[in-house]
Amino acid sequence: MPLKVFVGALMLVFAVGAKAGPLDESGHWPAARMSPERADILSFSPFSLFDAARGSGELIDADVVYYPPQGADGPAPAVILLHGAGGVSEGREHTYARQFAAQGVGAAIINIFSPRGGFGFIERLMTITEAMALADSFAVLDWLVERPEIDGERVAVIGFSYGGMSATYAAYRQVVDAYLPDVPFAAHVAVYGPCIARFEKIETTGAPIMMMWGTEDAIMDAEECAATAEDLREGGSEVVIETFEARHRWDSNSRHWRTPAHLADCRFRVRENGVAEHATLPMHMSGPAMRTIMLGLCANTDGYLIGGDPEVRIQSNAALARFLNPVLFPN
């Protein structure tokens, strides 16, 4: 065979037949040089889990971009990425998505804010809820299940901060029963997701859960997160906790600064019917006004430190790989 033909054939093999995964457990993840595709997905906007179970909420076109898996040989696993209160960023969600795609894992990024109004930072947190983030997440999960290049039984949800709460909630059986996806998530990861709500009904889908946070992150209450983890274990899931010497949002390119407030002191409970109540006062989140009041009563004005740390990001990548590999690449 002429050398030129041999080289061309070899390049074709590497281009279409390369083996992808498992995720690199060194934490030094490559990033694919690619642009995402825009996904056409219909979702809805329930204010609470109570509303979701009744199908209440305006229909919307979800804002989702998708990075297909690279080098996969057969149906590949996938992850869904849920942003924090600051929204989607190039340095966090898009970088993670390219890193997953480069290792043979499809990645879908959801922007829960953009389709629901151009509110300011505080206003959108009062009007755009975790129930809406869950609606988008399960809609995207169903969309991924239908993709021929994706194995719908191997899709994990990863949430950051505000999105981390929703990633954890998606593991509860009553949440899955409210949204009725084609399949549940195969794994759940909450990256510095505050532990402010406990579920009355603790039964889970049985999928494994990972909780990660920094020891210098004031928004994380380690005792409350440990209690939440115990609920989840008792409900049927394996729970892994990883902590790092880091501030909030260590996996971003953000400068080091202090936010004006946080919600680590808030305590709510979610009833079996999906209603979220104050843990000690006779109040429930019936709408944006009550949500504003309830969050305002428990907000801590000391703030919390934010700051990227490349070394900790490598460590957290490694921890993510150790947790996700048995789920995404079981063979």
- pLDDT tens digits in sequence order for the chain, 331 residues long: 343 333 333 333 333 334 588 999 999 999 999 999 999 999 999 999 999 999 999 999 999 999 999 998 899 999 999 999 989 999 999 999 999 999 999 999 999 999 998 678 888 889 999 999 999 999 999 999 999 999 999 999 999 999 999 999 999 999 999 999 999 999 999 999 999 999 999 999 999 999 999 999 999 999 999 999 999 999 999 999 999 999 999 998 877 888 888 889 999 999 999 999 999 999 999 999 999 999 999 999 888 889 999 999 999 999 999 999 999 999 8
HSE, side-chain direction, 13 A CA sphere, residue 139: 25
Chain CA centroid to CA 85, Å: 12
**Residue 209: beta bridge partners?**
188, 239
DSSP label at 216? Answer: T
Question: CA-CA-CA-CA torsion for 252, 170, 218, 255, nearest 10 degrees?
Answer: 10
User: pTM of this prediction?
Assistant: 0.93
CATH number, span 24-325 = 3.40.50.1820
pLDDT at 118: 66
pLDDT at 121: 80
pLDDT at 130: 97
> Is the CA virtual torsion 47, 50, 52, 57 positive or negative?
negative
HSE, side-chain direction, 13 A CA sphere, residue 227: 14
Question: What residues does each domain of the chain span?
Answer: 24-325
pLDDT at 254: 73
Contacts of 263 (CB under 8 A, 6+ apart): 194, 196, 219, 295, 298, 299, 300
DSSP label at 109? Answer: E
pLDDT at 105: 98
Burial code (b: 16+ CB inside 10 Å, e: under 16) for 278-309 equals beeeeebbeeeeebbebbeebeeeeebbbbbb
pLDDT at 256: 85
